[in-house]
A and B are shown apart, each in its own frame.
Chain A
Amino acid sequence: MHNKLSPFLKGVLVVGFLFLYIPIVSLIVYSFNESKLVTVWGGFSTKWYASLFNNEQIMSAVKLSIEIALASALAAVALGTIAGFVLARFKRFPGSTLFAGMMTAPMVMPEVITGLSMLLLFISMQQLVGVPTERGFFTIWVGHTTLCMAYVAVVVRSRLLEIDQSLEDAAMDLGARPLKIFFVITLPLVSQAIASGFLLSMTLSLDDLVTTAFLSGPGSTTLPQVIFSKVRLGLNPEINALASITVLVVGVVVLLANYLMLNAQRNRDKAIAAAMRESGAHS
């Protein structure tokens, strides 16, 4: 039952994956097109990669986007891990329903709404307390952190609900303080979830256009904003080259992360099995 997929289901998978991947493959193929017309083949060339790396506007946007993504992912991981822990372990506390709701909503709320509302908050804050003085790195960082922490919280929370709470209980019985238990027992158990949360936050931040558009000011143009302003005018071979590099980087990172995590999982399973055998031999 499990191992044989019916021809219908196999067909479904083939069609589904063709649908998902044909656009991505076509992007990459056309990035090597000599012609500026992008979809009219004019011979093989890597010149658009060279012109991409010489495009100062794009390169400085890449730099800014990576800085914002790193800063947002770090903050999102810190806040999201705590939030995920609170949701999974404390469950009910005064205001817990509102808290859980505020974790779900940012993930699905249309970005035109979150972007506008955060901008208006910053404008009001500026009128009332004088900070932030301008739109830029800080305001974008807050926006991305808020968006990403929800994703981190979901990943960490579902991992915490999966793992056995008896380890934490045992440590508590042995007299460990809650903070020590969190850092010595809980945190290592969810380290994979935190790592995925970090990567997810990086990609979300690097990719965000709409929230960023509301929160950025003159002089803080991120990569998606540059891409958007270019593709609005039509096809652009440099964007194809940029897309191919993005796909390559994301592919390598995701495959590598997946491989490392599977490996860690296997080693842990082995260690647990060995420990079980040993304790069995002693008794």
Chain B
Amino acid sequence: MNMSRLLRKLKPGKGAVIAVPYFWLLLFFLVPFFIVLKISFAEQDLAIPPFTSLLQVEDGVLQSLTLYFGNFHFIFTDGLYAATYLSSLKVAFFTTVMCLLLGYPIAYAIARADPARRNVLLMLVMLPFWTSFLLRVYAWMGLLNETGLINNFLMSIGLISEPLHLFHNDFSLYLVMVYAYLPFMILPLFSHLVKMDMRLLEAAADLGAGPIKAFLTITLPLSKNGIIAGSMMVFIPAVGEFVIPELVGGTDTLMIGKVLWNEFFDNNNWPMASAVAIIMVLMLIVPIALLHRYETRELEGKGNA
């Protein structure tokens, strides 16, 4: 169907229904990115707001346009920014892999459980997700501390005599990242696995395939869309995570979300924070498009699960 016929098909009422949420998202979600892009080409300034204006307008006439490339130049030439982007991608990647390795068996077990019990199990997965994210991160501070529950326990049973250093390092960072993001992995995986036709596995067993072979050749390929959707749900926000590295990560943990926060709140360098954000968005466009494709496919029932 071509565009003009489609437009004619849209009755005015229908257009108005679409327009309300559409306009909201355009104004409050899409347009802001272009403003961030604009300000990433400004220079920090001692003014309110603290950046230079790109356009010089006098009497309604554009006098000049000044683009400042210094922020991007600095990001690309200063090795610390590159190292931080790489480190964020690395942390997000390994968090995703660990969530997948831990979440897949859990989602699988829930999907294969007795239907009557399945709802209860699913709710038990969801319940921590409903309680505060911030408080769940805080909970680990009490567990991993030098005098925390884990060290107390290990020392009381005599396994160790000195407290282990579990806190403010990569170990605590990954542990809490996996903990916080696990439900985002389990839910999409579950919704794919639960729809799977069990007769396929029975047929495979009848034809002589062992459970491992049946899993590798049937279950795993059929849950591919769930794996991709779940992985992207974890990976994308993990790249820009701020709270977890700030509260439980090491002082030398490089995370780009922390850098953006510090540029904005501590250095008051809004243009630099904008440039950092723009490069992060560019890095995340492909993962977001992937998530969008697989999510839509699943909802519209075109998935092969």
Contacts and interface: CB of A to CB of B under 8 A. Distances in A.
Interface residues of B, number: 97
Interface string A229-251: 00110110001101100110011
Contacts of A3: 114
B207 interface: no
A23 interface: yes
Interface in A72-92: 79-80, 82-83, 85-86, 90, 92
Contact of A250 (B106, B127, B270): B127
Contacts of A250: 127, 130-131
B227 interface: no
Contacts of B32: 114, 117-118, 120-121
Contacts of B61: none
Contact of A24 (B102, B115, B136, B202): B136
Given A243-B135, A254-B130, A110 B288 contact: no
A109 B287 CA distance: 10
B80 interface: no
Contact of B281 (A27, A30, A113): A113
A232 B134 CA distance: 11
Nearest to A247: B131
Interface string B14-35: 1001101110111111111101
Given A26-B149, A117-B33, A158-B299, A5 B264 contact: no
A93 B17 contact: no
Given A105-B288, A120-B35, A13 B131 contact: no
Given A92-B6, A116-B274, A110 B240 contact: yes
Contact of B127 (A100, A224, A242, A254): A254
Nearest to B211: A6
Nearest to A104: B292
Interface string B276-305: 010011001000100110011001110000
A20 B182 contact: yes
B210 interface: no
A263 to B, nearest CB: 13
- Identify whether the interface residues of B are mostly helix, strand, loop, or mixed: helix
B179 A149 contact: no
B76 interface: no
A232 B21 contact: no
B110 interface: yes
B203 interface: no
B141 A121 contact: no
Interface string A114-126: 1011101101100
A224 B134 contact: yes
Nearest to A3: B114
Contacts of B14: 90, 93, 178
A108 interface: yes
Contacts of B261: 112, 210
Given A23-B179, A79-B21, A92-B6, A116 B36 contact: yes
Interface in B184-240: 198, 201-202, 232-233, 236-237, 239-240
Interface string A211-227: 00110000000001001
Contacts of A40: 147
B123 A108 contact: no
Contact of B140 (A13, A17, A23, A37): A23
Task: Give the contact-size bracket for chain A.
Answer: 35 or more
Contacts of B106: 12-13, 16
B206 to A, nearest CB: 12
A121 B148 CA distance: 43
Contacts of B91: none
Contacts of A145: 24
A100 B132 CA distance: 28
A142 B28 contact: yes
25 contacts: A5-B109, A12-B109, A17-B124, A19-B102, A19-B179, A27-B142, A94-B7, A98-B30, A108-B233, A110-B242, A114-B32, A116-B260, A121-B27, A145-B24, A149-B24, A203-B130, A207-B134, A210-B243, A239-B138, A243-B138, A246-B131, A250-B131, A254-B126, A254-B127, A254-B130
Interface of A: 1-3, 5, 9-10, 12-13, 16-17, 19-24, 26-27, 30, 37-40, 79-80, 82-83, 85-86, 90, 92-95, 98-106, 108-114, 116-118, 120-121, 123-124, 127, 142-143, 145-146, 149, 153, 157-158, 161, 178-179, 199-200, 203, 206-207, 209-210, 213-214, 224, 227-228, 231-232, 234-235, 239-240, 242-243, 246-247, 250-251, 254-255, 258, 262
| Top 10 A-B pairs, shortest CB-CB distance | A110-B240, A117-B32, A23-B139, A83-B21, A9-B109, A108-B236, A121-B32, A16-B106, A102-B25, A12-B105
Given A12-B108, A104-B288, 16 more contacts: A2-B115, A3-B114, A24-B131, A80-B21, A90-B14, A94-B7, A102-B26, A109-B236, A110-B280, A113-B36, A146-B29, A149-B21, A231-B134, A235-B141, A243-B132, A246-B131
